[in-house]
Amino acid sequence: MIVAGVILVILVASVLFHLFTPWWMTPIAADWSTIDHTLRLTFWVTGAAFVAVIAFLGWCVYRYRHSETRRAHYEPESGKLETYLGIATTIGVVFLLAPGLVVWNSYIHPPADAAEVEIVGQQWNWFYRLPAEGGKLGRADARFVTAENPLGVNPYDPNSKGNLIVNGGDLHLRVNKPVKILLRSIDVIHNFYIPEFRAKMDMLPGSESFFWVTPTRTGTFEILCAAYCGTGHPFMRGTLVVESDADYEKWIAQQQKFTAMNEQKRGFAALPATGQEK
Ligand SMILES: [Cu+2]
């Protein structure tokens, strides 16, 4: 009886803790409310399963408690019970997985008018690269990585020249404008994560991953690395500023161009006029 009572207390306390928890999602700052919906749905499905299993456990402890007069039945199989459990489990798993597939599909299909920004992770910093006004991002390859060109931007690609490189500073984005976030790493696996955007993705050395997002409110948000990437991992933080078009233009005007950055140091001007790297 005491054990059944303890199980009941655990069940009620767990549900109450969930309802009154001080830890909940941060206020959303992007148009990914569908991701919140899938998270809530997961809470409901797993919460219902938790309540059902713990309540069943408590009921069994109470109902089949020791009694001198009772003998246990031997009932190794129950076709009916297996059918019910099979159907209920299938429904639960479908509700857990299917909505995520729909949301994921839209998460990786940016609209045609989305701006582009590249995020590069390197132990334990964030770099950002933006195309010049109306331009495109030049290609990049690990072969081009040097002290002067930490992102490995291809200096032979004409699109590279106007690219803006933000080395260690804040990243700024326009409010209410969709942006495709391209992700690269030049050493180990990192993960670009902005909790308020409900958006995160792995950054894999040697390949480029991406997702898109529309920031919906101005403000300053923290960028976190969400994949353990070495001893400096906890310090791999960045700052994202979401702002109006006017403020964004001011910021972008201050950023350094790839060509300027290289000429200033060395390398770009010293490169042969025509390279094989086309
Ligand atoms: Cu990292």
Cα of 144 vs centre of ligand 1, distance in Å, is 21
Cα of 235 vs centre of ligand 1, distance in Å, is 9
Cα of 48 vs centre of ligand 1, distance in Å, is 36
Q: What is the DSSP letter of 132?
A: P
Q: Where are the domains of the chain?
A: 2-64+78-107, 115-265
Q: What is the DSSP letter of 259?
A: H
Q: Does the domain made of 115-265 have the CATH classification 3.90.79.10?
A: no
Residue 272: what pLDDT? 47
Residue 265: what pLDDT? 53
Question: Is pLDDT of 100 > 90?
Answer: yes
Cα of 174 vs centre of ligand 1, distance in Å, is 25
Cα of 128 vs centre of ligand 1, distance in Å, is 14
Residue 222: what pLDDT? 94
Question: Is pLDDT of 269 > 80?
Answer: no
Cα of 115 vs centre of ligand 1, distance in Å, is 24
Cα of 75 vs centre of ligand 1, distance in Å, is 54
CA 195/CA 48 separation, integer angstroms = 26
pLDDT band with cut points at 50, 70 and 90 for residue 260: low
CA 277/CA 258 separation, integer angstroms = 17
Question: Residue 235 phi/psi, 5° resolution?
Answer: -95, 5
CA 119/CA 98 separation, integer angstroms = 30
Quote the percentage of the chain above a pLDDT of 70. 93
Cα of 123 vs centre of ligand 1, distance in Å, is 6
Cα of 191 vs centre of ligand 1, distance in Å, is 6
Residue 278: what pLDDT? 41
Cα of 198 vs centre of ligand 1, distance in Å, is 18
Print burial letters for 149-178: b (CB count within 10 Å at least 16), e (below 16): bbbbbbbbbebbbbbbbbeebebbbbbeeb
β-pairing, 171-174 vs 237-243, is: parallel
Q: Is 224 exposed, middle or buried (0-12, 13-18, 19+ CB in 10 A)?
A: middle
The mean-pLDDT minimum among 57-61, 146-150, 200-204 falls in 146-150
Residue 270: what pLDDT? 46
pLDDT band with cut points at 50, 70 and 90 for residue 57: very high
Cα of 204 vs centre of ligand 1, distance in Å, is 11
Q: What is the mean pLDDT of the chain?
A: 88
Cα of 261 vs centre of ligand 1, distance in Å, is 25
Question: Is pLDDT of 119 > 60?
Answer: yes
Cα of 209 vs centre of ligand 1, distance in Å, is 15
Cα of 15 vs centre of ligand 1, distance in Å, is 35
pLDDT band with cut points at 50, 70 and 90 for residue 167: confident
Cα of 74 vs centre of ligand 1, distance in Å, is 55
Residue 238: what pLDDT? 92
CA 262/CA 240 separation, integer angstroms = 26
Cα of 169 vs centre of ligand 1, distance in Å, is 16
